[in-house]
Amino acid sequence: MKLLPSLLKLGLTSAVLATSTLASAVTPPPLSDPENRGGWVINPDATDEFNGNDIDRNVWWIQGENGNWNGQWRGRAPSEYDPDNVRVENGYLYMTARWDETHNFSSGNGGGNSQGSWQYGDVPITTAALLGKHYFQYGYMEMRSKAADGPISSSYWTTGVGGETDAFESYGWNPNNPWSGKRFHTSFHDWRAGSPTYGRRIWENDHIFDFRVADDFHTYGFEWDPNYVAVYIDGAMVNCVTRAEMGNNWVANNAQRAWIDMETFDWEYNANNLRPEHFNGSEGIDFVVDYARVYQRSGSNTGGTCPNRTNLLQNASFENGMNGWSGDASVITTSSHHGNSAAALDGSSTIEQVVAVKPNTTYILSAWANSVNTNEADLWFNVFLGVKDYGNAQADVRYFFPRWHEKSLQFTTGPDTYEATVYFTNAPQGGLAYVDELQLYEAQFTFIGDPAQSVSLSPASLTILQRESGRVSAEVLPESAGNKGLLWASSDESIATVDGVGNIRALAPGVVTITARSVDNLTASASAQVTVQPNLNLLDNGGFEKGSLTDWWDSFGLAAMTDEQANVIEGRYAASVAAGANLAQQFPVEPNTSYRVSAECRLDNPHASNGVFFIIDGWAAGAWGIPMAAASFTSYSEWQQDFTTGPEDEGNMSIAVWNSVAVAANGTPSHPQTAYCDNFQVMRLDDGGDGQEPVPVAAVTVNPGNVALDVGQTVQLNATVTPQNADNSNVRWESSNNAVASVSASGLVTAHSAGAAVIRAIAEADSTISDGASITVNAVATDNLVANAGFEEGNLNAWPTSYGNSSVVNNNARSGSYAAYLNGNGAIEQDLAVLPNTTYTLTGWVKVGASGHTGYLGVKNFGGTEIGRRVTSTGYTQQSITFTTGANATTARIYVWNGDAAHRVYADDIVVTAGETSTDPGTDPGTDPGTDPGTDPGTDPGTDPEDCSANWISVTGVSTAANAITMRVGAQQVLDYSIFPSCASQQNVTLLSSNWRVVAPNNNGTITARRAGTAVITVRTKDGQYEATTTVTVQ
* CATH number for the segment(s) 454-533: 2.60.40.1080
pLDDT of residue 92: 96
Say if CB 562 and CB 545 are below 8 A apart: no
Residue type, 373: N
Q: How far apart are CA 119 and CA 375, in angstroms?
A: 30
For the cut 90, the answer to whether the pLDDT of residue 948 exceeds it is: no
Share of the chain above pLDDT 90, in %: 47
Spell out the CATH class of 803-940: mainly beta
Highest mean pLDDT out of 106-115, 201-210, 882-891: 201-210
Looking at residues 433-442, what average pLDDT do you find? 97
Average of per-residue pLDDT values in the chain: 85
Domain ranges of the chain: 7-19+953-1034, 40-68+79-100+131-297, 326-442, 454-533, 553-684, 699-775, 803-940
Sequence-distant (≥ 6) Cβ neighbours of residue 730 within 8 angstroms:
763, 764, 765
Q: What are phi and psi of 200, to 5 degrees?
A: -105, 155
pLDDT confidence bin for 844, thresholds 50/70/90 = very high
Q: What burial letters (b/e) apply to 44-56, b meaning 16+ CB within 10 Å? A: eebbbbbbeeebb
Q: DSSP letter string over 81-111?
A: E-GGGEEEETTEEEEEEEE-TTS-PPSS-TT
326-442 and 454-533, same CATH topology: no
For the cut 80, the answer to whether the pLDDT of residue 406 exceeds it is: yes
Looking at residues 66-75, what average pLDDT do you find? 92
Element (DSSP H or E) covering residue 908: strand 904-917
Looking at residues 104-121, what average pLDDT do you find? 78
pLDDT of residue 328: 92
Helix (H, G, I), strand (E, B) or coil at 196: coil
For the cut 60, the answer to whether the pLDDT of residue 917 exceeds it is: no
Q: 40-68+79-100+131-297 is classed in which CATH architecture? A: Sandwich (2.60)
Looking at residues 215-242, what average pLDDT do you find? 95
Fold of 699-775: Immunoglobulin-like (2.60.40)
Q: How far apart are CA 972 and CA 1004, in angstroms?
A: 12
pLDDT digits (tens, 9 = 90+) for 749-788: 998 888 899 999 999 888 889 999 999 988 654 578 999 9
For the cut 60, the answer to whether the pLDDT of residue 949 exceeds it is: no
pLDDT digits (tens, 9 = 90+) for 491-505: 998 899 888 778 888
pLDDT of residue 1004: 59
Looking at residues 28-42, what average pLDDT do you find? 92
For the cut 90, the answer to whether the pLDDT of residue 895 exceeds it is: yes
pLDDT confidence bin for 928, thresholds 50/70/90 = very low
Sequence-distant (≥ 6) Cβ neighbours of residue 307 within 8 angstroms:
237, 240
pLDDT of residue 168: 94
pLDDT confidence bin for 237, thresholds 50/70/90 = very high
pLDDT digits (tens, 9 = 90+) for 557-583: 688 888 888 889 888 899 999 998 889
For the cut 90, the answer to whether the pLDDT of residue 805 exceeds it is: no
pLDDT digits (tens, 9 = 90+) for 962-977: 889 998 877 778 787 7
pLDDT of residue 732: 92
More confident residue, 399 or 1027: 399
Single out the residue of 860, 857, 863, 829 nearest to residue 843, CA to CA: 857
The CATH superfamily assigned to 326-442 is: Galactose-binding domain-like (2.60.120.260)
Say if CB 534 and CB 510 are below 8 A apart: no
pLDDT of residue 697: 86
More confident residue, 1007 or 256: 256
pLDDT digits (tens, 9 = 90+) for 519-547: 888 889 999 999 988 888 899 889 988 77
pLDDT of residue 147: 97
Single out the residue of 283, 312, 322, 324 nearest to residue 126, CA to CA: 283
Minimum mean pLDDT range among 41-50, 251-260, 409-418: 409-418
Minimum mean pLDDT range among 710-714, 799-803, 1031-1035: 799-803
Looking at residues 939-947, what average pLDDT do you find? 37
pLDDT of residue 230: 97
For the cut 60, the answer to whether the pLDDT of residue 923 exceeds it is: no
- Name residue 763's beta-bridge partners: 731
pLDDT confidence bin for 832, thresholds 50/70/90 = very high
pLDDT of residue 512: 92
Kindly tell me the sign of the dihedral angle through the C-alpha atoms of 211, 214, 216, 222.
positive
More confident residue, 524 or 3: 524
pLDDT confidence bin for 152, thresholds 50/70/90 = very high
pLDDT of residue 501: 78
For the cut 60, the answer to whether the pLDDT of residue 932 exceeds it is: no
Going by CATH, does the domain composed of 7-19+953-1034 fall within 2.60.40.1080? yes
Q: 553-684 is classed in which CATH architecture? A: Sandwich (2.60)
